[in-house]
Amino acid sequence: MVPAYWEAAGAELTRNDPVLAAIIRRYPGMNLRSRGDAFQTLARAIVGQQISVKASETVWGRFAALFPEIVPAAVAAAVPEDLQGCGLSRRKTEYIQDLAGHFHSGALDPARWESMDDEAIIAELTEVRGIGRWTAEMFLIFNLLRPDVLPLDDIGLQKAVARHYGNSEVPSRARLREIAAAWAPWRSVATWYLWRSLDPEPVEY
> Do 44 and 95 have their domain in common?
yes
Give pLDDT, residue 10. 97
Q: Is residue 112 part of a domain?
A: yes
Q: Is residue 162 part of a domain?
A: yes
> Do 42 and 117 have their domain in common?
yes
CA distance 3 to 203: 15
User: Across residues 188-192, what is the average pLDDT?
Assistant: 98
Q: What is the dihedral of CA 176, 181, 186, 191, to 10 degrees?
A: -10
Q: Is residue 204 part of a domain?
A: no
How would you class 198 by CB atoms within 10 Å of its CB: exposed for 0-12, middle for 13-18, buried for 19 or more? middle
Q: Is residue 79 part of a domain?
A: yes
pLDDT digits (tens, 9 = 90+) for 22-80: 999 999 988 888 877 999 999 998 998 888 888 999 999 999 999 999 999 999 999 99
> Do 76 and 137 have their domain in common?
yes
CATH of the domain at 186: 1.10.1670.40
| pTM for the whole structure | 0.86
At position 155, the amino acid (one-letter code) is I
26 or 1, which is more confident:
26
pLDDT digits (tens, 9 = 90+) for 122-160: 999 999 999 999 999 999 999 999 999 999 999 999 999
Position 203 pLDDT exceeds 90? no
User: DSSP secondary-structure letter at 186?
Assistant: -
Q: Is residue 121 part of a domain?
A: yes
Going through the chain in order, the beta strands assigned E by DSSP cover none
> Do 97 and 112 have their domain in common?
yes
- Count: domains in the chain: 2
Give pLDDT, residue 33. 86
CATH of the domain at 114: 1.10.340.30
154 or 168, which is more confident:
154
205: confidence class by pLDDT, cuts 50, 70, 90: low
CA distance 144 to 86: 27
Measured in whole angstroms, how far is the alpha carbon of residue 135 from the centre of its chain? Answer: 6
> Do 110 and 51 have their domain in common?
yes
CA distance 45 to 40: 8
Give pLDDT, residue 51. 86
> Do 47 and 134 have their domain in common?
yes
